[in-house]
Amino acid sequence: MTARKLQKSGFDAAPVGFVTLYSEPYFNRNGGWVLETNEDISHLNDHSVQSQDGSLVSAGFNDITSSVRNRTDRVLRLYPNFNFKGVPLTLLPGESADFTDEDGKESGWYDNRYSSLRLETYGGGGEGGGRG
Ligand SMILES: [Ca+2]
C-alpha cells in the first residue's frame, strides 16, 4: 500500500490503481499538488506519505482537495472530518469530480473540505454474495 505527494497537473496524470486528490480545480490544469493513494487515510494532514524524492513527509492535504479521480477498482469515500466521520462523498471505480460551480468558481460546499478517505470493496457488501 502506497501514498505519495507530488507536483503534477492534468486529468491524465492520475495513475491506474490509485485515487488521486488534486489541490486545485480542473485536475490541477495550472499546476498544483496531488496526493496519490491506494490505502485508507484517516487524517489527511498527518498521514505519512512519500515525497518526490522518496522521503517520508506528512501529507498536509487536509481541506485542500479541489478535484479528484478514482482509478481504483474500489469505492472511494471522502469524509469531511478526520477518522471517517461525517457524511462522505462517494466516487465509484473510474469516476472523477471537480469541485467548481457552474461559473467555474470553486464551490463552497465540496471544495477544500475533505479530511479523511476510505476505499471499500465494490459490490462486496460483506454478506457473502447475492441471493441467487
Ligand atoms: Ca484547493
Dihedrals phi, psi of 83, to nearest 5 degrees = 60, 35
Give the SS3 label for residue 84.
helix
Least Cα distance to 122 among 77, 75, 78 occurs for: 75
Q: Which three cell numbers stand for residue 7?
A: 507536483
Q: Tell how far the Cα of 56 is from the centroid of ligand 1, in angstroms.
A: 22
Q: Tell how far the Cα of 131 is from the centroid of ligand 1, in angstroms.
A: 43
14/104: higher pLDDT: 14
pLDDT digits (tens, 9 = 90+) for 23-59: 999 999 999 999 999 999 999 999 999 999 999 999 9
Q: Tell how far the Cα of 110 is from the centroid of ligand 1, in angstroms.
A: 10
Q: Tell how far the Cα of 128 is from the centroid of ligand 1, in angstroms.
A: 39
Cα–Cα distance measured from residue 120 to residue 132, given in angstroms and rounded to the nearest whole number: 23
Per-residue pLDDT at 114 exceeds 70: yes
Q: Tell how far the Cα of 52 is from the centroid of ligand 1, in angstroms.
A: 20
Q: Tell how far the Cα of 54 is from the centroid of ligand 1, in angstroms.
A: 24
Name the residue ranges covered by the structural domains of the chain. Answer: 3-121
Q: Given pLDDT bands bounded at 50, 70 and 90, which one contains residue 108?
A: low
Q: Tell how far the Cα of 98 is from the centroid of ligand 1, in angstroms.
A: 10
**Residue 100 CB contacts under 8 Å (≥ 6 apart), including other chains:** 25, 26, 66, 106, 107, 111
Q: What local confidence, expressed as pLDDT, does residue 2 receive?
A: 95
Cα–Cα distance measured from residue 29 to residue 23, given in angstroms and rounded to the nearest whole number: 11
Q: Which fold has domain 3-121?
A: Gamma-B Crystallin; domain 1 (2.60.20)
Angle at 36 between CA 33 and CA 41, to 5 degrees: 110
Per-residue pLDDT at 95 exceeds 90: yes
Q: Tell how far the Cα of 43 is from the centroid of ligand 1, in angstroms.
A: 17
pLDDT digits (tens, 9 = 90+) for 64-91: 999 999 999 999 999 999 999 999 999 9
Q: Given pLDDT bands bounded at 50, 70 and 90, which one contains residue 109?
A: confident
CB 120 within 8 A of CB 88: no
